[in-house]
């Protein structure tokens, strides 16, 4: 039995005519008739009853038609899968990422993904998570890597990747003592880090003074290192290479949002984006449940 015989058989049944099936398949009608006869001879049964006006299935033909549809459906699935692989090799991928990524090695993930799929045009956009989620809403990025705050809207799906903690950073040589009168460096009001600062200060019984606002965690660290104030920030950023600061654990540290991989709920990922998502998940091997 040959696959083309099943294709011809299904087409004849669907069109109810050898002539119309041949036209749909773009082959000569005698070739269709010959392949159906060979199929019947091999199976030892009659599949179709032919009259001058119509074609009808025998009981054996009904059975074969059901099996043929399943086989041809699987063939279509194989074609789709292979087409998706081809699309990945030729696709585009735009990733948004915050500076705070915990133990997620985004650079390494992008590098290994590029080596596996060199035909994909990669772009990386960095910023605060609220800005990046806006880009995700507008379709400017395919995926976002960053902190997952408790008030995240339901229109996003999340795969958690890594935990994060909150520490205090001060200039080197800064004397130990209370923080009530210290100037703080932080992100602007409305940011997640600003909320964390106020939570920590409230727990300690004071209102923090923030004379210096920064545009990102890296800038916060630079300003603290320069002696302009102290700050609370993600432990991964405080401990990574950069301007020298003193890292001080907090006795009652507020929780820092975990790091997740975010996409828009209900929006199908492109083959390139889906492949990168699986690549990052495999690299991290997370044990934190999806949301």
Task: Confirm if 154 and 265 have CB atoms less than 8 A apart.
Answer: yes
DSSP 251-288: TTPPPPPPEEEEEETT-PPPHHHHHHHHHHHHHH---S
For 165-222, what is each residue's pLDDT tens digit?
Answer: 999 999 998 886 678 889 999 999 988 899 999 988 988 889 999 999 998 999 999 9
Report the alpha-carbon distance of residue 58 to residue 75 in Å, rounded.
25
β pairing state of 246-248 and 166-170? antiparallel
For 184-195, what is each residue's pLDDT tens digit?
Answer: 999 999 888 999
Closest CA to 280 of 190, 180, 161: 161
| Angle in degrees, CA 194, 210, 213, rounded to 5 | 70
Listed by start position, the domains of the chain span 3-88, 91-164+258-284, 166-248
- Give the residue ranges of DSSP H helices in 26-119: 29-43, 59-90, 106-116
Identical fold between 3-88 and 91-164+258-284: no
The fraction of the chain above a pLDDT of 90, given in percent, is: 56
In DSSP terms, 121 is beta-bridged to 92
For 62-105, what is each residue's pLDDT tens digit?
Answer: 999 899 888 888 887 777 666 666 666 678 999 999 988 988 99
What homologous superfamily does CATH list for 91-164+258-284? Periplasmic binding protein-like II (3.40.190.10)
pLDDT given for residue 290 in this prediction = 45
pLDDT given for residue 178 in this prediction = 74
- pLDDT at residue 288 is higher than 60: no
Report the alpha-carbon distance of residue 216 to residue 113 in Å, rounded.
27
Across the chain, mean pLDDT equals 88
Q: What is the 8-class DSSP label of residue 53?
A: S
Class of domain 166-248: alpha beta
Stated as kind and residue range, the H or E segment containing 231 is strand 231-234
pLDDT given for residue 52 in this prediction = 64
- pLDDT at residue 149 is higher than 50: yes
pTM: 0.62
Stated as kind and residue range, the H or E segment containing 124 is strand 121-126
Task: Confirm if 264 and 204 have CB atoms less than 8 A apart.
Answer: no
The CATH number of 3-88, from 1.10.10.10, 1.20.200.10, 1.20.1050.10, 1.20.1730.10, is 1.10.10.10
């Amino acid at each position: 039995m040959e696959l083309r015989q099943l294709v011809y058989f299904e087409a004849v049944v669907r069109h109810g005519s050898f002539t119309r099936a041949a036209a749909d398949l773009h082959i000569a009608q005698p070739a269709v008739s010959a392949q159906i006869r060979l199929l019947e001879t091999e199976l030892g049964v009659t599949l179709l009853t032919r009259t001058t006006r119509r074609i009808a299935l025998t009981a054996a033909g009904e059975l074969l038609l059901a099996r043929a549809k399943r086989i041809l459906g699987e063939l279509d699935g194989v074609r789709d899968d292979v087409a998706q692989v081809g699309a990945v090799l030729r696709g585009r991928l735009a990733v948004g990422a915050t500076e705070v990524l915990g133990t997620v090695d985004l650079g390494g993930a992008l590098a290994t993904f590029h080596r596996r799929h060199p035909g994909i045009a990669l772009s990386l956009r960095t910023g605060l998570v609220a800005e990046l989620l806006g880009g995700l809403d507008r379709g400017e990025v395919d995926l976002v890597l960053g902190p997952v705050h408790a008030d995240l809207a339901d229109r996003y799906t999340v795969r958690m990747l890594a935990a994060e903690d909150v520490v205090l950073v001060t200039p080197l040589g800064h004397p130990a003592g209370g923080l009530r009168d210290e100037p703080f460096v932080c992100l602007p009001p409305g940011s997640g880090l600003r909320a964390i600062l106020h939570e920590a200060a409230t727990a300690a019984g004071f209102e923090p003074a923030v004379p210096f606002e920064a545009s990102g965690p890296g800038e916060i660290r630079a300003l603290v290192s320069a002696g302009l104030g102290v700050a609370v920030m993600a432990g991964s950023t405080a401990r990574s290479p950069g301007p020298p600061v003193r890292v001080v654990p907090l006795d009652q540290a507020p929780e820092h949002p975990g790091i997740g991989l975010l996409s828009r709920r209900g929006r199908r990922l492109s083959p390139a984006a889906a492949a990168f998502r699986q690549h990052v998940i495999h690299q991290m091997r997370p044990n934190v449940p999806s949301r």
